[in-house]
A and B are shown apart, each in its own frame.
Chain A
Amino acid sequence: MKKPLIASILAFATLLAACGGSPPAATGTPGTTASAASADPCGVPVKGKCPTEAQNVTGAGATFPGPLYTKWIDQYNQLTGVQINYQAVGSGGGIKSFTDKTVDFGASDVPLTDAQFDAIAGGLYMVPMALGSVVPTYNVPNVTATIKFSPEALAGIYLEQIKKWNDPKITAENPGVTLPDLAITTVHRSDGSGTTGVFTDYLSKISPEWKTKVGSATSVNWPGGVGGSGNAGVAGAVKNQPGTIGYVELIYAIQNKLGYGVVKNAAGKYVDASLDSTTKAADAFVSPDFGNLKGQQAKLSITNSANADAWPISTFTFLLLPKDFSDKAKGLAILRFAWYGTHEGQSFAKDLGYAPLPSAVQKAAEDVLKTITSGGAKLLKVNS
């Protein structure tokens, strides 16, 4: 892919701004302990400073994991003194910056397309870091019960085929709930977003019609409805307008005390959306060949999980790392940081509203991190 000139210039400008404006690295709190003396200080688990790792690293990508990465960056900085700049510019922006090599690592909520894989010289790994999920939120006056949506009903609503709240396809799943004869207005994200990517990926899996008519991507050609910018824009439109339905990230719904509906999962069960049921969605995850992801993107998707206790609209969020770092010092810092995130860092996930990785996925991430090289030599040493 030809490098879009404007994008490169803008990315470069933001990079400069970000570097110039960054606070000085926090000093002190050396985490090194006497027991680690025999171990390689540059190995993992991360115990303290490593003399050969870069002190400044830049990354860009998905907004969804932003708060979690910020927490990890802060913790990692206290341990090692390394300053990591993460710019939450969105998944697409992260992929673009990574492809253009204006950042040292990228991040994305959605798998790359074939064309995007081809555009990246030297290839890349996508490493799962945490999990998130998307929930439908709605505004139906005088209904206090949680509304249940079958996959067909959800797809029908967003295809603009189910037009009223008392449509039989909705009422059939909600016995005992009186739904009004009210027009449905669908609300979607107007900005390109990983949230839309996950939601449309799910709809594509459960509705062949959706797959052919609309498809899945971070922005799609919506059959109708209103667009709101960001989770806040969608939630605002839903809150203000009776009869609306929208979709937001689970953490956003929890933090803002939005009510949300339940969706029938692949096993036919209605499971409440929660961090636990999100982690469950990754239980059925079958690790793809991470070294050769092109053409296998579908395996990275965990929507419509077969697990009976899983929330069906769940997703990984990934770090994008090159297979071979040209800069050894930066590579080491990034790999150690990623190791920290997928291990010690997981303990911060729940408090911040993210679902932690199940241990099988954590193991898969470990294997990938251990494979990454610089100049052909493996970078990461695991201290026992």
Chain B
Amino acid sequence: MLVPLTLVAITVLILIDSWPALTTFGLSYFTTTEWDPVKLVFGAAAYVYGTLVTTVIAVLLATPVAVGAAIYLTEFAPRPVRAPVAYTIELLAYIPSIVYGLWAIFVMVPVMRSVVEPGLQGTLGQLPVIGKLFSGTPIGLDLLSGGVVLAIMILPILMAVSREVLLAVPPTQREAMIGLGATRWEAVSRAVLPYARPGIIGGAVLGVARAFGETMAVTMVVGNSSRDITGSLFVPGYTMASAIANQFVEADSELYFSAIVEIALVLLFVAVLVNAVARALIRRSIADRPAGAVV
């Protein structure tokens, strides 16, 4: 009883505090990028954009790695290594995000700037259309770096969920496929993975939720600049959570403060929505299927 009440209380508080911004800016809050604490004009489009872009990069990079690791650990790895390796990957989830941030700023950013980003510019950057993503001077503190840090941070939860879902696939699924003469890989790709797909998607959605709210590590590498949206990944960006963390303390006028609380409102709304979707997908995968069903 207490928990839902807390959620309601938080929502009400945030609504009250964000009311001045909600009524002053209305929809333009989501469609404009001008965020000017001096002139008191606030549009959060650049923050929303930065959050979406870093999250998409993170999920695109982390999902194949996480699912691959989960498949290896449940289907192919020698039994004695399965638990220790899985445990080690899950351990990544317990590293404080500030530590990821420090590592990123001292180790990852220099590599991104001097190796990865020039490399991308020299290859994919030469292609039409896609090339636009990689235009500009590589500075390492940009949307791409933010996305890569997030990818590393959501990897453990994605891997853990995928592994649980794969373990929950009834052995009869594999046995039936192998009994039909399939190789192990065919059994995995044709019987196990389709069965587990909703759960894996659920894990990815949970990763999205984590990426949305992640603050410290991203703030340290994303560049924190809400310039116009250019379409390139090599420009400094800003995420919603970073904007709150950076500006909350010094928000010295009512409207400014309220505009920042409105970011929190959007984040809360998205987090609840994403979690609900993820839960529904995972439940469908694990519980609702009768044992032994063949897809």
A-side residues, CB < 8 A to B, are 1-2, 4-7, 89-93, 95-96, 113, 115-116, 183, 185, 190-193, 214-222, 224-229, 233, 236-237, 240-241
Contacts of A5 in B (CB 8 A): 13, 16-17
Interface flag for B34 (CB, 8 Å): yes
Determine the distance from Cα of A229 to Cα of B252 in the docked complex, in whole angstroms: 18
Name B219's closest neighbour in chain A (CB-CB): A229
B250 touches which one: A4, A90, A222, A241 (CB < 8 A)?
A: A90
Determine the distance from Cα of A7 to Cα of B17 in the docked complex, in whole angstroms: 10
Contacts of B254 in A (CB 8 A): 1-2, 4
Interface flag for B79 (CB, 8 Å): no
In the complex, what's the smallest C-beta–C-beta distance from A105 to chain B, in angstroms?
17
Name A214's closest neighbour in chain B (CB-CB): B38
Tell me whether A220 and B36 are in contact in the complex, defined as CB-CB below 8 angstroms, given that A5-B13, A185-B139 are known contacts. yes
Q: Choose among B17, B110, B139, B253 the residue with the greatest number of A CB atoms under 10 Å from its CB.
A: B139
Determine the distance from Cα of A115 to Cα of B257 in the docked complex, in whole angstroms: 14
Q: Are B249 and A191 in contact (CB under 8 A)?
A: yes
Contacts of B140 in A (CB 8 A): 240-241
The list of the 6 closest CB pairs from A to B, nearest first, reads A192-B250, A227-B224, A92-B250, A190-B224, A215-B38, A221-B36
Determine the distance from Cα of A4 to Cα of B249 in the docked complex, in whole angstroms: 12
Interface flag for B246 (CB, 8 Å): yes
- Would you call the interface of chain A mostly helix, strand, loop, or mixed? loop
Interface flag for B193 (CB, 8 Å): no
Q: Are B224 and A6 in contact (CB under 8 A)?
A: no
Determine the distance from Cα of A222 to Cα of B261 in the docked complex, in whole angstroms: 21
Q: Are A216 and B223 in contact (CB under 8 A)?
A: no
Q: Are A190 and B251 in contact (CB under 8 A)?
A: no
Name B224's closest neighbour in chain A (CB-CB): A227
Interface flag for B247 (CB, 8 Å): yes
Name B258's closest neighbour in chain A (CB-CB): A4
Contacts of B258 in A (CB 8 A): 4
Name A185's closest neighbour in chain B (CB-CB): B139
Q: Are B247 and A219 in contact (CB under 8 A)?
A: yes
B26-44 Cβ-contact flags toward A at 8 Å (1 or 0)? 0000000011111100000
A7 touches which one: B39, B109, B236, B257 (CB < 8 A)?
A: B257
Contacts of B169 in A (CB 8 A): none
Selected A-B contacts with CB under 8 Å, 23 pairs: A1-B254, A5-B13, A5-B16, A92-B252, A116-B252, A183-B137, A185-B137, A191-B246, A191-B249, A192-B252, A217-B37, A218-B252, A220-B36, A221-B35, A226-B139, A226-B223, A226-B236, A227-B223, A227-B246, A229-B246, A240-B113, A241-B113, A241-B141
Determine the distance from Cα of A91 to Cα of B251 in the docked complex, in whole angstroms: 10
Name A116's closest neighbour in chain B (CB-CB): B252
Contacts of B224 in A (CB 8 A): 190, 226-229
In the complex, what's the smallest C-beta–C-beta distance from A165 to chain B, in angstroms?
13
Interface flag for B14 (CB, 8 Å): yes
Contacts of B220 in A (CB 8 A): 229, 233
In the complex, what's the smallest C-beta–C-beta distance from A211 to chain B, in angstroms?
10
Name B12's closest neighbour in chain A (CB-CB): A5
Within 8 A of A (CB), among B25-74: 34-39
Name B36's closest neighbour in chain A (CB-CB): A221
Determine the distance from Cα of A90 to Cα of B246 in the docked complex, in whole angstroms: 11
Determine the distance from Cα of A157 to Cα of B239 in the docked complex, in whole angstroms: 25
Q: Are A219 and B250 in contact (CB under 8 A)?
A: yes
B17 touches which one: A6, A92, A214, A222 (CB < 8 A)?
A: A6
Within 8 A of A (CB), among B214-241: 219-220, 223-227, 236, 238
In the complex, what's the smallest C-beta–C-beta distance from B230 to chain A, in angstroms?
11
Contacts of B35 in A (CB 8 A): 221
Interface flag for B286 (CB, 8 Å): no
Q: Are B219 and A93 in contact (CB under 8 A)?
A: no
Interface flag for B278 (CB, 8 Å): no
Determine the distance from Cα of A228 to Cα of B105 in the docked complex, in whole angstroms: 11
Name A243's closest neighbour in chain B (CB-CB): B137
B122-166 Cβ-contact flags toward A at 8 Å (1 or 0)? 000000000000000101110000000000000000000000000
Contacts of B225 in A (CB 8 A): 190, 222, 224-227
Q: Are A113 and B223 in contact (CB under 8 A)?
A: no
In the complex, what's the smallest C-beta–C-beta distance from B19 to chain A, in angstroms?
10
In the complex, what's the smallest C-beta–C-beta distance from B18 to chain A, in angstroms?
10
Contacts of A214 in B (CB 8 A): 38
B252 touches which one: A113, A222, A236 (CB < 8 A)?
A: A113
Contacts of B251 in A (CB 8 A): 92, 192, 219
Determine the distance from Cα of A5 to Cα of B219 in the docked complex, in whole angstroms: 26
A219 touches which one: B37, B219, B223, B242 (CB < 8 A)?
A: B37
Q: Are B113 and A218 in contact (CB under 8 A)?
A: no
Q: Are A237 and B38 in contact (CB under 8 A)?
A: no
Contacts of A7 in B (CB 8 A): 257
Determine the distance from Cα of A2 to Cα of B225 in the docked complex, in whole angstroms: 30
Q: Are A220 and B37 in contact (CB under 8 A)?
A: yes
Q: A91-B250, A116-B253, A227-B223 are in contact. List 17 more A-B contacts (CB 8 A).
A: A6-B14, A90-B250, A92-B249, A92-B252, A190-B224, A190-B246, A217-B38, A219-B37, A219-B250, A220-B38, A221-B37, A221-B38, A221-B39, A225-B236, A227-B224, A228-B141, A229-B220
